[in-house]
């Protein structure tokens, strides 16, 4: 029988006794209905223990209720027996159930403690760090696997303080032990342990007191960290040597200054430039080095003042020129000085000074300047020569033309022999041609573009104006002008001259019954526009597409003009920072391309000007 059944049995028998005693003690005889209902309820409770107990309960109910229904009581012995039979099982069952619950709780507590022990054992043994259970004297009571692996003595679980602590650290360790047992914990103390083979092991110790006599100590092995630090310490001088050697090979003088203003490094170039031994520079104040340099410079006042101000106010300095006077162990040189503060995470850590040798550059600049001045002088002389030659050549040519005209006018047709008249007309024609050549040559030599004369030009309006000026020769010619021609920078009269020459050539050398000229802009090429003038004329053979831009070079000697037009176009375009070329196929026409700078601010415009 289960404990719950036994308890229900005791309760049912107890109810039987109570009902029976109650009915027995009542002064008024109970009614038959009350007796039947009371015993029926108690029998039902008893039946919960099983069918056998239910049947027994029914029998007891009949046995006890019969005398009551007959008018007589069951007697005290019956009531006492029923009380005994009810109370004993009830008390017994309750006590057994209490014992079972107590046993379960005890088992749970025992299992929990066992689990904690297992976990602690795993953590203790499997920890990668040294773990010791120590007493208040520092002696090891128990040690884990890592302790045996790192320190040695694999067969021993206990160690004396003097066996595993470095002799030089024992007194310090004992002081820390006293703090540990006073305060309760020890955090991050670095000590040295010693192995079975007498090798020193750097450790970081953490400990916690368990009670007044024991504590747990964990030591993190720092051997790998110390080894890395040692290797890094060995590498630093090597890397520094490589850096210093690299700086020493530079032609630029370099001075490194720390946050206190002391020179921590100066390369060989400083010694070579100023004749100051490098060893005397390193470790001294940068201002003292500046004073040493000062006496080796020409006109040092401005230079020294600027550098001192930069040092004091932590300012950068860029491209200050200083000149070294020649002297003992030094040559005359021109240096360009720059200095910059060095910061790390917004904190000033020092500065670095550079001395760049620009002696050769300055020498080349001086030579270039002299050559430029000589060239300008030569150009002035050439211009004066051009004017003189043009004037001297024009005067005889004009005289020849004038005499030929006068003779022809004074001798009308028939007055002179035909041969003489023909020769005089040839003389006049050649003289006029010579005057035109002199005029074009003088014009070509005087083409010069000044940046200050540049202005913003609307090409569409400019081209339309040129076409109006050439309306006489453009009669019967289809001219197509791109309405989206851009704005460019240039000199209006010069750009008009380019378009005028190209349009005139397109008309002059067109053999088609329906001449056509297209004027437009093809694309942008960087900061330049690619413009074009296209015709459907006779075209130009490939071998002549470069030579046509030379002055006085005419493909057809019988054609009008001097052959200077395309040479003048090239000169004007190049003076504007562009170029001109032609693409043509004989019999199919030609396209003359040229580039001009697009409209920009003045600073950008001037870079395209020669």
Higher-pLDDT residue of 389 and 477 is: 477
Average pLDDT over residues 203-215: 90
DSSP H helical ranges for 31-157: 32-47, 51-70, 76-126, 145-151
Joined together, the tokens standing for residue 243 give: 């850096």
| DSSP line for 456-521 | EEEHHHHHHHHHHHTTTTTTT-EEEE-TT--EEEE-HHHHHHHHHHHHHHHHHT--SSS-EEEEEE
**Cβ-based neighbours of 413, under 8 Å, separated by 6 or more:** 421
pLDDT at residue 576, as a whole number: 84
Q: Which of 367, 350, 354, 346 is nearest to 317 (CA)?
A: 354
Residue 83 has pLDDT above 50, yes or no: no
The fraction of the chain above a pLDDT of 70, given in percent, is: 68
**Residue 397 pLDDT grade (very low, low, confident, very high; cuts 50, 70, 90):** confident
The pTM (predicted TM-score) of the whole model is 0.38
Higher-pLDDT residue of 485 and 55 is: 485
Measured from the Cβ of residue 434, the count of other Cβ atoms closer than 10 Å reads 18
Query: How does the average pLDDT of the chain come out, rounded?
Result: 77
CA 609 to chain centre: 38
Give per-residue pLDDT as tens, 227-252.
777 776 666 666 566 666 777 778 88
**Residue 216 pLDDT grade (very low, low, confident, very high; cuts 50, 70, 90):** very high
d(CA 460, CA 462): 5
Residue 71 has pLDDT above 80, yes or no: no
Is 5:96 a contact under the CB 8 Å cutoff? no
Give per-residue pLDDT as tens, 484-513.
899 998 888 888 888 988 998 899 888 888
**Residue 132 pLDDT grade (very low, low, confident, very high; cuts 50, 70, 90):** very high
pLDDT at residue 84, as a whole number: 41
**Residue 398 pLDDT grade (very low, low, confident, very high; cuts 50, 70, 90):** confident
Residue 604 has pLDDT above 60, yes or no: no
Average pLDDT over residues 185-196: 90
d(CA 28, CA 87): 28
**Residue 76 pLDDT grade (very low, low, confident, very high; cuts 50, 70, 90):** very low
Average pLDDT over residues 575-580: 87
pLDDT at residue 63, as a whole number: 55
Average pLDDT over residues 80-89: 44
Higher-pLDDT residue of 166 and 122 is: 166
**Residue 82 pLDDT grade (very low, low, confident, very high; cuts 50, 70, 90):** very low
d(CA 149, CA 154): 7
């Amino acid at each position: 029988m289960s404990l719950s059944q036994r308890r229900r049995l005791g309760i049912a028998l107890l109810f039987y006794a109570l009902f029976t005693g109650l009915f027995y003690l009542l002064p008024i005889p109970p009614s038959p209905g009350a007796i039947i209902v009371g015993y029926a309820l108690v029998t039902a409770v008893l039946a919960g223990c099983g069918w056998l107990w239910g049947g027994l309960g029914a029998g007891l109910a009949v046995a006890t209720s019969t005398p009551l229904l007959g008018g007589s009581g069951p007697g005290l012995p019956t009531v006492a027996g029923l009380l005994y039979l009810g109370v004993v099982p009830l008390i017994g069952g309750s006590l057994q159930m209490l014992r079972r619950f107590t046993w379960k709780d005890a088992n749970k507590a025992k299992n929990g403690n066992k689990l904690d022990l297992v976990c602690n054992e795993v953590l203790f043994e499997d920890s990668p760090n040294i773990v010791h259970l120590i007493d208040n004297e520092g002696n090891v009571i128990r040690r884990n696997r890592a302790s045996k692996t790192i320190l040695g003595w694999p067969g021993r679980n206990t160690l004396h303080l003097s066996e595993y602590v470095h002799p030089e650290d024992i007194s310090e360790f004992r002081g820390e032990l006293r703090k540990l047992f006073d305060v309760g914990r020890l955090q991050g103390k670095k000590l040295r342990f010693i192995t079975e083979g007498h090798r020193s092991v750097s450790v970081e110790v953490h400990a916690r007191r368990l009670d007044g006599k024991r504590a747990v100590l964990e030591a993190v092995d720092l051997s790998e960290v110390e080894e890395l630090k040692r290797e890094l310490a060995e590498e630093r001088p090597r890397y520094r040597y490589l850096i210093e050697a690299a700086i020493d090979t530079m032609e630029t003088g370099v001075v490194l200054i720390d946050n206190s203003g002391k020179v921590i490094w100066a390369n060989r170039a400083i010694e070579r430039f100023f004749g100051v031994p490098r060893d005397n520079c390193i470790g001294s104040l940068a201002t003292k080095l500046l004073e040493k340099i000062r006496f080796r410079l020409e006109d040092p006042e401005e230079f020294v003042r600027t550098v001192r101000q930069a040092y004091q106010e932590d300012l950068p300095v860029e491209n200050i020129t200083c000149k070294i006077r020649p002297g003992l162990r030094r040559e005359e040189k021109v240096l360009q000085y720059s200095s910059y503060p060095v910061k790390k995470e917004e904190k000033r850590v020092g500065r670095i000074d550079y001395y760049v040798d620009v002696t050769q550059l300055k020498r080349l600049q001086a030579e270039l300047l002299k050559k430029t001045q000589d060239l300008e002088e030569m150009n002035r002389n050439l211009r004066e020569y051009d004017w003189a030659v043009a004037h001297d050549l024009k005067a005889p040519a004009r005289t020849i033309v004038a005499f030929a005209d006068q003779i022809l006018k004074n001798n009308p047709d028939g007055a002179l022999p035909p041969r003489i008249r023909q020769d005089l007309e040839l003389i006049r024609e050649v003289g006029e041609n010579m005057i035109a050549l002199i005029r074009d040559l003088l014009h070509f030599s005087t083409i010069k573009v000044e940046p200050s004369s540049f202005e913003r030009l609307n090409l569409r309006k400019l081209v339309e104006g040129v076409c109006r000026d050439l309306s006489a020769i453009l009669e019967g010619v289809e001219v197509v002008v791109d309405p989206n021609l851009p704005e460019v920078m240039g000199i209006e009269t010069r750009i008009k001259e380019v378009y005028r020459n190209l349009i005139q050539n397109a008309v002059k050398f067109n053999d088609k019954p329906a001449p056509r000229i297209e004027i437009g802009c093809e694309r942008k090429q960087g900061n330049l526009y690619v413009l074009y003038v296209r015709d459907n004329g006779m075209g130009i053979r490939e071998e002549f597409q470069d030579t046509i831009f030379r002055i006085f070079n005419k493909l057809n000697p019988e054609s009008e003009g001097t052959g200077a037009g395309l040479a003048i176009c090239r000169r004007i375009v190049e003076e504007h920072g562009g170029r001109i070329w032609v693409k043509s196929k004989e019999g199919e026409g030609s396209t003359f391309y040229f580039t001009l700078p697009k409209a920009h601010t003045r600073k950008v415009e001037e870079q395209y000007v020669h």
